[in-house]
Amino acid sequence: MDVLERRISSCYAKPPWIFKGSALYQIHLVKAATARAFIPKELRLVEAFGYTLGGFFLASYDDSPAGVFDELVVIAGTVWNPPTSCAWAARVLVNSDEACHHGRKEVGLPSQVARFSKKITAVPKGKRERTFGFLDTFRLGTSLSHPEDMVEVKVSEVDSAASADICSIKFRSDEMEKKLGNWMGPAIKMSLPSFSGNTKYFPNLLKYSCHLQCRVRPVRPAVVSHPLDNETDSEENHTSQELHENERRLSVAVMLSKPIIALEFKDLTMQVEAPVVV
C-alpha cells in the first residue's frame, strides 16, 4: 500500500461506519436484460414481465468518516436472498477520493469519483404540471399555486483528466413543505441488505447491511435526463476501456428507466456494517 492509500484508508475507523445527512431514494422499473449485465450469473434476479426493481439513491452527507460529500448509487436491480432480497449497485459515484477508495477496497462497490454540481431556479407561480401516480390520491400532485425552487443536480464521472456526463436530476426542493406544512413524515428504522463485490478491486461476492434511521415521506419523482451524444457504434467489443464505457451507458439506462415511487429521507443516520464473503 503506498503513502496515498495509507492516508486515505486512515480516514475510516473500524466498522460500523456512520453517515448522516439526507437522501432521495427513487425506485424504478428496470428492464431485466439491463440489470443482468451487472449481476453475477450465480445470483437470481427478482423479476416479473421482463422487469426488476432498481433505481437510485442520491445522498448528501454532512457527517461521515470521509467528511462532507455527495453520493449517487445507481441500483441495477433486486436479487433473491432467501427468505428476502438484496439490491445490487451498478455504479456508485462520489465526490470524495476517500469515499471512493473505501467503497472499492473495503465494501466491494463499483465506486467512481464524480463531480456534483447543483443549481437552484425558481418555478413561476401558477405553472401547471401533470399529476403523478398515487401522489394525486392525497392531493399532492395538483397544479402549483406558489413559486417553488427547482433543484438540478448534474453528475459527471471523473476519470483522470477527462470527465463524462452521467445524468441530470431535477426535483422540487420545497413542494411538500408547501402542501404539508412542517410535516416531515414518520420516524422509521429499516435495514437494506445488499450484495457487492465481483469487481476488479474485490473479486469475491460480498453481502453487507445498511441500517437506516430517518424521517421518510413520499415526494414527486425526480426527472432524470442524459445529454445526447454522438455514440452510434453498436458493435460488441471487449477491451477494458470499452467495457467500462458500456457499463457507464447501461448505468445511464437504469437512471432513465420508469420511476414508480420516490421517498425523501430527512435526518438520516445510516450505519453500514462490514461486508462478509458469501
The whole-model pTM stands at 0.85
Cell of 39: 449481476
Give the pLDDT confidence score for residue 9 in this predicted structure.
53
Domains and CATH numbers, the chain: 3-119+152-277 (2.40.400.10)
Condensed to tens digits (0 to 9), the pLDDT of residues 63-72 reads 999 999 999 9
Condensed to tens digits (0 to 9), the pLDDT of residues 239-276 reads 667 777 888 999 999 999 999 999 999 999 999 999 99
